[in-house]
Chain A
Amino acid sequence: MFAWKEGELDPEQESAIRCDGNVFLVACPGSGKTRTLTYKIAYELSRLSSEKQRVIAITYTHRAADEIHERIEALGVDTAQLWIGTIHSFCLEWILKPYGIYHAELSRGFRVINSHDSERILTELCEPYKREKIKPFDCGFYYTADGCVLACANTPKQSRVEMILQSYFQILSKNRQIDFELMLYYAHQLIADHPTISVLLSKMFAFVMVDEYQDTKAIQYSIIASILRAGAGSTKAFIVGDPNQAIFQGLGGFPIAAYVFAENAQVHLTELMLWRNYRSSEKIVGYFSNFNVHATQIESRAKHREYASIISFNNEVHRDALDDELIRLIRFNIEVAGIPPREICILAPQWVSLAAMTRKLVSSLPEYEFDGPGMVPFARDIDNFWYKFSRIVLTTASPEMFIRRRRWAAEILKDLEDADVTITGLTHKSLLRQCNSIKLDETDGLKYLAEFFGLLFAELGIDIQANELLKEHHEAFFGSSQSRIDRLRKEGAEFVGEISNFRKVFSNRSGITISTIHGIKGDEYDAVIAYALLEGMVPNSNDSDGENSAKKLLYVICSRARKNLHLISERGRLDWRKNEYGTTLKLAEYDFGYDTLPTSDEAPPPL
């Protein structure tokens, strides 16, 4: 049985792991949630009584799945009986593929459409509604058990959006394609129409773990609840998350209450809490506790809890001087506070152009590296076959990359199999060997990839053009990447298309991170600098529950920081009515004794 040394886990973590029943675990930021989940999975894997049972772990992103998978392997636990992945992969592998023949829309075969393609279709469909200012962005939707819900809160637009979506679904149906939302919806329908599916799944699943429950959609809960219900106690659940960080509600994210879930799943849930924050100083924890919506308990237990954190707030700087302010803050943290660049993160809501800001910073601070959206030459479309394959192409064989690349290669093989491409004798080993043996002199990143894939697939004897799925993904990947590079070049990022820049995408983070607030999930940095904290952006003006959303967003932003936190509500940003945005109300309301930046003499010694 998997065991751990005393002191490896704190008492709350340990009791959550050892708890025999169904657990509903609220984990405050920095409380070692991933660690707990990792150990829990390892523990339950080692406790399985039959080799026919599986432990299922559902994560929010592929990245999280990969990370947890790697950590469990590092713990020396056999992961053969572990299935870990996103809810979409779960639905695809466990419900849609095996039982799709019972669903009219799936029975003749189906392909998953990637976000790039679905956006392209929506863009075309929005074309006739230009005057009404309906953009693909407005066409967000998600499903509940009762049907489609529009994400767009703007009532006048809704009827148009409904028409657009109707055509959109027709196009998908005609092409036998499904998008991510339909994956969930159809999986739910299958589960609802064929109770046997839940029965079979529950017989196989000893444990179902759900990470980041606060961002999980209602329809996902009902899928999982149905399996638990069918299991009548034989399948256990382990639900983890933090309702305070539920920042995806606009997209259907739903921090379910423990008792509601227990009722749906007809199980008894043990509610537990991880309250020790190992990330942030006491001062930071104290600061962001103010934005706590769900009154969860949290206390700093960080090694540096007594760190003299700087928490600054600037609502006077004009947007034109914003880059200078950011440079000042970056320089302070690196040069005065002694924080390494890769431990600094700049955040902003997705409505402002992070790419432009990234490029400004890159040219103003040539001595530092940046990892930001304006620097990535291709769309991170994690479900695109060629994107996945480029991970192998753009990284080099090395001991530390070995496990990861092997897994990537295995994923490629599986995708090929799913695409009906069979190559006898191809293993992940031989695939990697073949990849490693290809040497090209091309310096243009996209050309490099195209040439690389061309050579490799010719060697493998696969005609990319002859396979619908490979072809579709190829066009999507290279098409969107090319337009992205063209756009970035036009905006001034001259070298964005170089192969060296391509390679950077998959190397470990080395520079200052620039990200949207929503893209920062689960990460942590010594210093966090956030700007555009403006009412109408944080929260978004369409948000029906703006107050709570604002608090949650601020909670997420501030809880990323270990040591220093810098908040900016710049002036001079105008909305479409040409009115200036004001400071986020919840922030403005907060009466806090903010710090001013000390000079180098006053700075505390780096820890």
Chain B
Amino acid sequence: MHISKLSIVNYRNFGNTKVLFNKGINTIIGENGSGKTNLFRAIRLLLDDNMKRSASRLEQNDFYRGLQDWRGHWIIISLEFEEVSQEESIQSLFLHSAGDITNETIERAAYNLIFRPKADIRVAMSKLEDGDADGLTAIRQRITIADYETIFTGRSDADFNDEAVYKDIVGDFDLVRFSDEIEFPSIGAKVPGMFSISQEISFTFIQALRDVVAEFQNNRANPLLTLLKSKSGQIDPAVFEPISVMVRELNNSIEQLGDVQILRTDISDTIKDAAGETYSPSSLSIKSELSDEADKLFHSLKLFVGEAEDGHEGAIHELSLGGANLIYLTLKLLEFKYQKAKQSFANFLLIEEPEAHIHTHIQKTLFDKLNYEDTQIIYSTHSTHISEVSNVLNINILGKNASRCEAYQPATGLAPAQVGNIQRYLDAVRSNLLFAKSVMLVEGDAEELLIPILVKKVLGISLDEMGISLINIRSTGFQNVAILFNDARIRKRCAILTDLDAAIIDTNPATGDSEDVKKKKLKVKNSHDVGVRRKTALETFGQNNNWLHLCFAPHTFEVDFVAAGNSEKVVDVLGDVYSSAGTVATAKAELESGDIALFGTRVLTMAQQEGKGWFAILLGKMIDHKTVIPSYILDAIFFVYPTVSTEVWFNILSYRVKCIEQAEQFGPEVIAAFRVKLKSFREGATDFITIRNDMLTTFAADKLIPILNRF
């Protein structure tokens, strides 16, 4: 049996989220703050026997914040299980509570935590006339968290992720439409109080490690003690008895030590001297209380580990942090093995961010090998090292969309061959693409190197800050990866930047063309034709997909870079490319000619000669705030980064002002006056249009103006 689906509705940062799981190892990846911990907590509320009972009593701030008013809404955490078997006795208690018996044999089970208003509130809402908004407000106003109850139900068949289902059951708060019923068979039957599902299964949660040494020193959390405790219960009393006898003798010997006896007498005498006979204790002794019981005696057992070659074994606090964490994780895994050995039919292991302190290469091998039979492992990570070893079929990506967390399944609906392509791609280039807020796909090294520099130098902020991942596909096979960005899969924005390779010279054969010219013309024409076909293919591919945006460089990245008005930057690197002054002069003239056939051919020749990557590095050094970003690149950036906040505008404009200030084209009083305006924009006193117009009038020549005019 394994968990096949987790649905979370209105819980913490999840408005309505579906997470799918498969047998075996599953990965949940996501940036920090994307809800990984809350997602695990949701699972633990249902399955972790170590979770305090009171935890299931949810609180006001457990409600999803995106609800304007939580009052009246329900929190639903629902787990679905597959591959259950009614033939196995050990599953029967579980299935009696959670099994779906609609079919002849049980194929699925469901187990839910529902936090909902108590019956009296639900009755009141059920009696509302449709559209009675005032009535609803009156009811909601008197709801407090004390009017809520937690119930656990099993065998539900409602799809809680379907908003229509939620409205049918809980109600439509906008239209004020509530069911006349207050109980709904589709949410399942209450799990009888005499059962606890968490006791039927084996479940271990390994928390992201914060302070592993402290963990070892804490008696309750120390995994070694937990393991020893489970062993101490099994110790044969006959075997342990001689030890108990020795402990008692030891206690006795210590008490009889001369020094101890003297100390006792001294204490006694001092009290009598100080307090007098009447007020002194009537007797006093010093006792050695080393326990002779196995479980207590085991507390004195400590783990010593040798890390270095010299054979020295140190206590946990002497170990390197990585070493200590490895030991911790190992003991927790052993704990799980012990638990699994008990009679239980389903084993779940939840590991939170194993990368927290473990060395990269250990992470990789650890999770390559972590594979227990009949066990479902779910781990959360923000490590690309781990995600690249996980199967893309078993990945859920958590993403933040404003304050709402969503989960994406990147392989939904893909054919095995397509999955294979993505998997190979992820393995090869690391999977940071899965962590990105949004993605720009480019075809070569030049774009990969130069676009980040362009953005940083022109806007003053980095792609990282904007949450944009720039991914180099190293070919024009964009579809293999872009297929991920889709309503059904990853709902994040993705821009494809590619060259259209339009001809920059007249490719019509002319009389008198030399063989070389003929060849060149044919080659350019072929590229041109291929470019046209690629465009058509990509456009077909991206049709009706709002997550995808195609941005075509009319010709080639380098050519369009110059065409955008950056010939001077290329001129600046001529000295690095050509040694002969004559060639430099010719090249300079061509680059500044304004004729695309000339500057285009020149810049391509230079790139070819240096290698596109190296040429981009050379060029990168020359880029400054006066460089112009080609407009198709701006298209891409502002597609994947559609909303620019006031704060970001403020940063961009401040950066530009600083650049202008350094260029000393304007007097300090102009700069200062503008900074005042900027401040008032930041504080919300003026709006974007105003500050944009101010910028236009004050610094009309600034290269940012065309960008600002886009907004």
Instruction: List residues of chain A with CB under 8 Å of any chain B CB.
Output: 50-53, 93, 97-102, 107-109, 194-197, 199-201, 203-204, 234, 414, 417, 420, 422, 424, 466-468
27 contacts between A and B (CB under 8 A): A52-B93, A93-B194, A98-B97, A98-B189, A98-B191, A99-B101, A100-B189, A102-B185, A107-B185, A108-B181, A108-B182, A108-B184, A196-B105, A197-B101, A199-B86, A200-B92, A200-B95, A200-B101, A200-B106, A203-B89, A204-B89, A420-B118, A420-B119, A420-B149, A422-B150, A424-B54, A424-B57
Cross-chain contact A204 with B106 (CB below 8 angstroms): no
- CB within 8 A of B192: which of A93, A194, A420? A93
Task: Please report the C-alpha to C-alpha distance between residue A93 and residue B188 in the assembled complex, in whole angstroms.
Answer: 15
Of residues 497 through 518 on chain B, the ones whose CB sits less than 8 Å from some CB of chain A are none
* B332 contact set on A, CB distance < 8 A: none
Task: Please report the C-alpha to C-alpha distance between residue A53 and residue B90 in the assembled complex, in whole angstroms.
Answer: 9
Cross-chain contact A196 with B99 (CB below 8 angstroms): yes
- The winner among B95, B155, B185 for most chain A CB atoms within 10 A is B185
Task: Please report the C-alpha to C-alpha distance between residue A417 and residue B343 in the assembled complex, in whole angstroms.
Answer: 30
Q: Which B residue's beta carbon lies closest to that of A110?
A: B183
Cross-chain contact A52 with B185 (CB below 8 angstroms): no
* A201 contact set on B, CB distance < 8 A: 96
Task: Please report the C-alpha to C-alpha distance between residue A97 and residue B189 in the assembled complex, in whole angstroms.
Answer: 7
B697-709 vs A, CB cutoff 8 Å, 1 = contact: the mask equals 0000000000000
Count B interface residues, CB 8 Å.
40
Cross-chain contact B104 with A98 (CB below 8 angstroms): no
- CB within 8 A of B119: which of A196, A424, A468? A468
Cross-chain contact B189 with A196 (CB below 8 angstroms): no
Cross-chain contact B183 with A108 (CB below 8 angstroms): yes
Cross-chain contact B185 with A196 (CB below 8 angstroms): no
- CB within 8 A of B90: which of A50, A97, A199? A50
Of residues 75 through 115 on chain B, the ones whose CB sits less than 8 Å from some CB of chain A are 86, 88-93, 95-97, 99, 101-102, 104-106
CB distance from A155 to the nearest CB of B (A): 41
Q: Which B residue's beta carbon lies closest to that of A101?
A: B185
Q: A200-B106, A204-B96 are in contact. List 18 more A-B contacts (CB 8 A).
A: A50-B89, A50-B90, A93-B192, A97-B189, A97-B190, A98-B96, A98-B191, A99-B101, A99-B189, A102-B102, A107-B183, A196-B106, A200-B99, A200-B101, A234-B89, A420-B118, A424-B57, A467-B120
Q: Which B residue's beta carbon lies closest to that of A463?
A: B120
- CB within 8 A of B104: which of A108, A195, A197? A195
Q: Which A residue's beta carbon lies closest to that of B103?
A: A196
Task: Please report the C-alpha to C-alpha distance between residue A59 and residue B99 in the assembled complex, in whole angstroms.
Answer: 29
- CB within 8 A of B86: which of A51, A102, A196, A424? A196
List of 5 A-B pairs having minimum Cβ-Cβ separation, nearest first? A203-B92, A109-B183, A101-B185, A107-B185, A196-B101
Of residues 636 through 663 on chain B, the ones whose CB sits less than 8 Å from some CB of chain A are none
* A204 contact set on B, CB distance < 8 A: 89, 92-93, 96
Cross-chain contact B96 with A101 (CB below 8 angstroms): no
Cross-chain contact A98 with B86 (CB below 8 angstroms): no
Q: Tell whether A52 pairs with B183 under 8 Å between CB atoms, given A196-B86, A196-B99.
A: no
Q: Which A residue's beta carbon lies closest to that of B105?
A: A196
Q: Which A residue's beta carbon lies closest to that of B86?
A: A199
Of residues 418 through 438 on chain B, the ones whose CB sits less than 8 Å from some CB of chain A are none
Task: Please report the C-alpha to C-alpha distance between residue A496 and residue B189 in the assembled complex, in whole angstroms.
Answer: 44
Task: Please report the C-alpha to C-alpha distance between residue A138 and residue B96 in the assembled complex, in whole angstroms.
Answer: 39
Q: Which B residue's beta carbon lies closest to that of A100?
A: B189
- CB within 8 A of A52: which of B90, B155, B182, B193? B90
CB distance from B227 to the nearest CB of A (A): 22
CB distance from A514 to the nearest CB of B (A): 39
Cross-chain contact B182 with A109 (CB below 8 angstroms): yes
Q: Which B residue's beta carbon lies closest to that of A206?
A: B89
* B99 contact set on A, CB distance < 8 A: 196, 200
Task: Please report the C-alpha to C-alpha distance between residue A72 and residue B104 in the assembled complex, in whole angstroms.
Answer: 39
* B186 contact set on A, CB distance < 8 A: 101
Q: Which A residue's beta carbon lies closest to that of B190?
A: A97
Q: Tell whether A108 pairs with B185 under 8 Å between CB atoms, given A200-B96, A468-B119.
A: yes
Task: Please report the C-alpha to C-alpha distance between residue A317 and residue B398 in the assembled complex, in whole angstroms.
Answer: 91
Task: Please report the C-alpha to C-alpha distance between residue A196 and residue B91 in the assembled complex, in whole angstroms.
Answer: 13
B158-195 vs A, CB cutoff 8 Å, 1 = contact: the mask equals 00000000000000000000000111111011111110
B114-142 vs A, CB cutoff 8 Å, 1 = contact: the mask equals 00001110000000000000000000000
Q: Tell whether A101 pairs with B189 under 8 Å between CB atoms, given A197-B101, A424-B57.
A: yes
CB distance from B609 to the nearest CB of A (A): 76
* A196 contact set on B, CB distance < 8 A: 86, 99, 101, 104-106
Cross-chain contact A98 with B185 (CB below 8 angstroms): no
Task: Please report the C-alpha to C-alpha distance between residue A234 and residue B91 in the assembled complex, in whole angstroms.
Answer: 15
Q: Which A residue's beta carbon lies closest to that of B91?
A: A203
Q: Which B residue's beta carbon lies closest to that of A193?
A: B101
* A93 contact set on B, CB distance < 8 A: 192, 194
Cross-chain contact A417 with B101 (CB below 8 angstroms): no
Cross-chain contact B149 with A414 (CB below 8 angstroms): no
Task: Please report the C-alpha to C-alpha distance between residue A466 and residue B123 in the assembled complex, in whole angstroms.
Answer: 11
CB distance from A87 to the nearest CB of B (A): 17
CB distance from A58 to the nearest CB of B (A): 17
Q: Which A residue's beta carbon lies closest to that of B97?
A: A98
CB distance from A144 to the nearest CB of B (A): 25
* A101 contact set on B, CB distance < 8 A: 155, 185-186, 188-189
Q: Which B residue's beta carbon lies closest to that of A176?
A: B183
Task: Please report the C-alpha to C-alpha distance between residue A52 and residue B94 in the assembled complex, in whole angstroms.
Answer: 10
Cross-chain contact B192 with A97 (CB below 8 angstroms): yes
Q: Tell whether A98 pairs with B192 under 8 Å between CB atoms, given A197-B101, A203-B89, A422-B149.
A: yes
* A109 contact set on B, CB distance < 8 A: 182-183
* A420 contact set on B, CB distance < 8 A: 118-119, 149
Task: Please report the C-alpha to C-alpha distance between residue A109 and residue B88 in the assembled complex, in whole angstroms.
Answer: 30
- CB within 8 A of A417: which of B89, B91, B184, B193? B193
* A107 contact set on B, CB distance < 8 A: 183, 185
Q: Which B residue's beta carbon lies closest to that of A107?
A: B185
* A97 contact set on B, CB distance < 8 A: 189-190, 192
Cross-chain contact B105 with A414 (CB below 8 angstroms): no
Task: Please report the C-alpha to C-alpha distance between residue A417 and residue B106 in the assembled complex, in whole angstroms.
Answer: 29
* A417 contact set on B, CB distance < 8 A: 193
- The winner among A53, A101, A107, A108 for most chain B CB atoms within 10 A is A101
Task: Please report the C-alpha to C-alpha distance between residue A8 and residue B448 in the assembled complex, in whole angstroms.
Answer: 90
* B184 contact set on A, CB distance < 8 A: 108
Task: Please report the C-alpha to C-alpha distance between residue A52 and residue B93 in the assembled complex, in whole angstroms.
Answer: 7
Task: Please report the C-alpha to C-alpha distance between residue A7 and residue B483 in the assembled complex, in whole angstroms.
Answer: 81
Task: Please report the C-alpha to C-alpha distance between residue A203 and residue B200 in the assembled complex, in whole angstroms.
Answer: 14
